[in-house]
Amino acid sequence: MDRATKIVIVGGVAGGASAATRARRMDERAEIILIEKDAHVSFANCGLPYYIGEEITRREALLVATPEFLRRRFRLDVRTDEEVLAIDRQQKTVRIRRSADGQEYEQAYDKLILTPGASPLVPPLSGVEATNVMTLRNVADTDRIKAVVDGRPQGRATVVGAGFIGLEMVEQLVHRGWEVTLVELQPQVLPLLDAEMAFPIAKELTDRGVQLRLGGGLQAIKQDADGLASAVELASGESIPTDLVIIGIGVRPNTQLAVQAGLEIG
């Protein structure tokens, strides 16, 4: 019999896990290796803000499929906390680093699928490196944000970006009893919508006590003596005290591997 096809998939969650399970359905003999740099290979992205807000009460409910389930149900070789560093298209190998010990190794493939996802955009502003300035992308980010919210029953948060993630975080922080200021560079919330459709959403936010700062961006983040963000400075010159900053201004696709490998990107 011919040798089984070796399929390596870079990245898990929606794209990678779906590709892996579909590949198994198409080829029962294939050796399918799923490599994910984070700790969780499949989780409910849309549920992350609602766990922070405690509308979802069980953390386990966020974990759609564990590595053990994927191994048992689909015979996938799931490798979490491992990152693909480079692709050698001539040799048909990828170079991988294990987070646990920093060791690197080569993995051969016959077919390679890239689903590395995207990374949150973080503006290069003064103070943005403070530990209480956060983005929300994965379960680890969720745990960090929830720890801050749990530790301060009535805090002050600044959410930067009035898109979907920003508005979901605003809703859940208000649900937890926090004072929230929403900062958006565009003159309306949900900039993808027509203005007349966004207006009632803005009214609902203000009716719930959210302070809107529209039509002006973030200028800088002030830090206290401990290096924590203590206030945000807006382009207007206004300074707003804060205990937590969540940045949700968009994402950038992780195309580095493809570019370094000389693949054509769109």
Q: What is the CATH number of the domain that holds 203?
A: 3.50.50.60
Residue 46 is among the residues annotated as catalytic for this protein: yes
Q: Are residues 111 and 150 in the same domain?
A: no
Let me know if residue 161 belongs to a domain: yes
What single-letter DSSP state applies at residue 18? H
Q: Are residues 126 and 243 in the same domain?
A: yes
Q: Are residues 130 and 242 in the same domain?
A: yes
What single-letter DSSP state applies at residue 210? P
Q: Are residues 110 and 192 in the same domain?
A: no
Q: Are residues 130 and 205 in the same domain?
A: yes
pLDDT digits (tens, 9 = 90+) for 75-85: 999 999 999 99
Euclidean distance between CA atoms 228 and 143, whole angstroms? 18
Identify the bridge partners of residue 198 per DSSP, sorted by sequence position: none
Let me know if residue 200 belongs to a domain: yes
**Whether the model pTM is above 0.85:** yes
The residues, ordered by sequence, that sit 6+ positions from 36 with a Cβ below 8 Å of its Cβ are 11, 12, 13, 16, 78, 79, 80, 81, 82
Q: Are residues 155 and 183 in the same domain?
A: yes
Q: Vertex 142, ends 137 and 148: CA angle to 5°?
A: 130
Q: Are residues 81 and 138 in the same domain?
A: no
Euclidean distance between CA atoms 156 and 219, whole angstroms? 19
pLDDT digits (tens, 9 = 90+) for 176-201: 999 999 999 999 999 999 999 999 99
What is the tally of structural domains in the chain?
Answer: 2
Q: Are residues 131 and 62 in the same domain?
A: no
pLDDT digits (tens, 9 = 90+) for 34-60: 999 999 999 999 999 999 999 999 999
Q: What is the pLDDT of residue 1?
A: 54
Which residue in the list 4, 29, 39, 46 is annotated as catalytic? 46
Q: What is the pLDDT of residue 2?
A: 78
Q: Are residues 155 and 47 in the same domain?
A: no
Domain range enclosing 82: 6-118+253-260
Let me know if residue 86 belongs to a domain: yes
pLDDT digits (tens, 9 = 90+) for 5-43: 999 999 999 899 999 999 999 999 999 999 999 999 999
Let me know if residue 265 belongs to a domain: no
